[in-house]
Amino acid sequence: MNKFSLYTLLILIFLGLSKSFSPSSKRTDHIVNDRVFSSYFKGAPVSVVLLDRFQAGFLIKTYYFHLKIMHVFKSPETVTIRVGKKLWEKHKDNLGMSIFRREERNGKEYLTPMPPGILFVGDPSFGGWEYHASGAKQWKFHRAYRKFPTLFYWGDFRPSYKFYQRSKTYEENQQPFYGLYNEFGSKGEITKLILQSVESKEFTPPSETFLEHVKIYLSTPPWSN
């Protein structure tokens, strides 16, 4: 066996052993495509909101989703998962959107990206339509679910009946719906609230400017304590 083969063998052994014992790959779940969502997210009703999507690495990138899993009777949980490149690219415009939902009544599942919380809008168990003086109808959650607009980062937004109807049409056609005025999704105004929140930014690496970094070179400890 020549030296080159030995060297290649050495690299393969190193990669094999690293793969077997690598704590990072064991810690973070890997989801190749969205068909796995169904078995990955348990319970019903459940709505999964994409809080952040980021990539790590130098030449060969690893792709991540930072997700918020919303249950009704449990506190929401946030998870970070590794995803396939195709899935990562697919949800490029869907930041802040619900990318997976499961209904409680019939267990029906949806993979079409929709505004967060849409699963609960129009369901009389969670709220009802309120009439305004103008005659327009607006969704209001029951008292028990009054925190939902905050949990879904709606801010002052409340869905109108028109919004609800349009969302249903898009869902039936399996087309992503970003709101009547594109207020949701990566470019949406309401989603920017999510991007500004601490929760979605916790995995973003700290940014440091060049000058800030160079200042460290000139730092000195105090003369005395």
Partner 1 sequence: MNELFDKLILQVLFTVLICASLFFYKYAHGVFYPSTRQHFFKRFYPSKNSSDTLHFFSRIIGIGIIFSEFSFNLSTGISLAILDFFAKAIFGFFLYLISLYIVDSIVLYNFEYKDEVLKRKNNAYSIITLAQSIGIAFILKTILKTSETSLVMLIFLWLFSMVLIGFASKTFPLMSKMSFNRLLIQKSLPLSFSYLGFFWGWVLIITSALDHKLISIKWYAIQVVLKILLSLIVLPIFTRGLKIIFRIYDEKDDKKNQELKDDTEINELGYGVYEGALFFTSCFLTIVITNRVFFGTFYPSF
Q: Is 75 among the residues that bind partner 1 (CB under 8 A)?
A: no
Closest by Cα among 125, 121, 126 to 168: 121
Choice between 80 and 160, CB closer to partner 1: 80
Q: Is the dihedral of CA 81, 85, 90, 96 positive or negative?
A: positive
Helices (H), the chain: 3-21, 23-27, 37-40, 85-90, 148-151, 161-172, 189-196, 198-201, 210-217
> What's the number of CA atoms in the CB half-sphere (13 Å) around residue 217?
5
Q: Which of 3, 27, 39, 59 binds partner 1 (CB under 8 A)?
A: 59
Between strands 137-141 and 127-131, the pairing is antiparallel
Of 4, 23, 27, 60, the one binding partner 1 by CB under 8 A: 60
Check if the beta carbon of residue 67 is closer than 8 Å to that of residue 79. Answer: yes
Size of the site for partner 1 (CB under 8 A): 30
Residue 214 Cβ vs partner 1, minimum distance, rounded to whole Å: 8
- Judged by beta carbon, residue 61 or residue 142, the one nearer partner 1 is 61
Find the angle CA(112)-CA(175)-CA(116) to the nearest 5 degrees. Answer: 45
What is the contact mask toward partner 1 in residues 1 to 40, using x (rule: CB under 8 A)?
----------x--xx--xx--x-xx---------------
Pick the piece of the chain touching partner 1 (CB under 8 A) from 92-100, 160-168, 175-183, 202-210. 202-210
Closest approach, Cβ 63 to partner 1, in A, equals 9
* Residue 211 sits in the site that holds partner 1 (CB under 8 A): no
Residue 204 touching partner 1 (CB under 8 A): no
CB of 6 to partner 1, least distance (A): 17
Check residue 106 for interaction with partner 1 (CB under 8 A): no
Strand partners, 70: 47
User: Closer CB to partner 1, residue 133 or residue 218?
Assistant: 218
Q: Using alpha carbons only, what angle is made at residue 122 by residues 118 and 126, rounded to the nearest 5 degrees? A: 90
* Residues near partner 1 (CB under 8 A): 11, 14-15, 18-19, 22, 24-25, 56-62, 205-206, 208, 210, 213, 216-225
